Amino acid sequence: MEDATITQRTPKLALGPVLYYWPRETLLAFYQQMSTAPVDIIYLGETVCSKRRSLNTDDWLELAEQLTTAGKDVVLSTMALLEAESELKTLRRLCENGRFTVEANDMGAVRLLSGRMPFVLGTGINVYNDQTLRFLAGLGARRWIMPVELSRTTLARIQAQRPVGMETEIFAYGRLPLAYSARCFTARYHNLPKDDCQYRCLNDPEGLSLSTREGQAFLTINGIQTQSAQTYNLLPELAELRALGVDVLRISPQAEGTETVVAAFADCLRGVREPITA
């Protein structure tokens, strides 16, 4: 397969899936607001825990139609860690939807999507070199999201060797998704079993902060997901991301201020503001 050359371009803006457990009304109001926001791509769906049922699969599909009508490119996101048959059933339905692109967050989703339709490689798929990217491109992947632990040097190397037609998306703003576990940290924090968690995540719209004994912010607990404590922000690196030929910048939704972040990125991409002052 021929390699792509690095071409500077204006990246598109993407809104990643909501990683937290928000009430139904909050989710619907949020996406109503985002329907007119300057984002090109919106990822929808539950990626962390299947017990978070503020919206069911039909609701997500209906929302996808509404956002498509509003001019957004909608991608349906799958869960990163599947353990039950009910979760596999939902995965199959998403992969067989026949209308919307799907973001695969585990290799089971990749298998179901292979040969069916082009798909996106989510943060749950570990792509650490161009050989892996070539293999997955052969299965139908058309965009990949660089694992957050990789360096700028690694990105440059992969960009120079990535397959033709493969888009690169970078996690550009939000708390970094670091790891998943079969155990629920939030339930454990409340001395509850995972199967009877009482949906305590609803009380933490941006997760639970974890500090060191010295009081320094260390991690954020989000159910079975571990995130960074600090908010990651690549807006000051916009010029370098352009030079590296990055196609899409992902903003991870937060409970407050997402619209302000989106506007800042959009203004900087248009040259209205300088990244260092946004």
For residue 178, give every residue at least 6 positions away whose Cβ sits within 8 Å of its Cβ, in sequence order, or none: 148, 219, 225, 226, 227, 228
CA distance 190 to 51: 17
Q: What type of residue sits at position 40?
A: D
**Pair of tokens at residue 80:** 């990163």
174's enclosing H/E stretch is strand 167-180
Q: Give me the pLDDT at residue 7, please.
A: 64
Q: What is the CA radius of gyration of the chain?
A: 18
Q: Give me the pLDDT at residue 273, please.
A: 86
Q: What type of residue sits at position 31?
A: Y
CB atoms within 10 A of CB 191: 6
Q: Where are the alpha helices (DSSP H) in the chain?
A: 24-34, 57-69, 85-95, 107-113, 130-139, 152-161, 185-189, 238-243, 258-270
Q: Give me the pLDDT at residue 26, please.
A: 98
Task: Give ∠ CA 108-116-19 in degrees, rounded to 5.
Answer: 45
Reported for 118-122, long-range contacts at CB under 8 A and 24+ positions apart, including other chains, are: 118/142, 120/75, 120/144, 120/145, 120/169, 121/145, 122/47, 122/77, 122/78, 122/80
Answer for the pair 235, 173: CB distance below 8 angstroms, yes or no.
yes
Per-residue pLDDT of the chain (278 residues; tens, 9 = 90+): 445 556 667 999 999 999 999 999 999 999 999 999 999 999 999 999 999 999 999 999 999 999 999 999 999 999 999 989 999 999 999 999 999 999 999 999 999 999 999 999 999 899 999 999 999 999 999 999 999 999 999 999 999 999 999 999 999 999 999 999 999 999 999 999 999 999 999 999 999 999 999 999 999 999 999 999 999 999 999 999 999 999 999 999 999 999 999 999 999 999 988 887 65
Cβ-based burial of 123 (10 A; exposed 0-12, middle 13-18, buried ≥19): buried
Greatest Cα pair distance, the chain, in angstroms, is 54
Task: Give ∠ CA 177-148-101 in degrees, rounded to 5.
Answer: 75
Residue in 126, 125, 135, 140 with CA at minimum distance from that of residue 161 = 135
Structural domains of the chain ordered from first start: 12-175+230-270 (3.20.20.70)
> Coil, helix or strand for 166?
coil
Q: Give me the pLDDT at residue 275, please.
A: 83
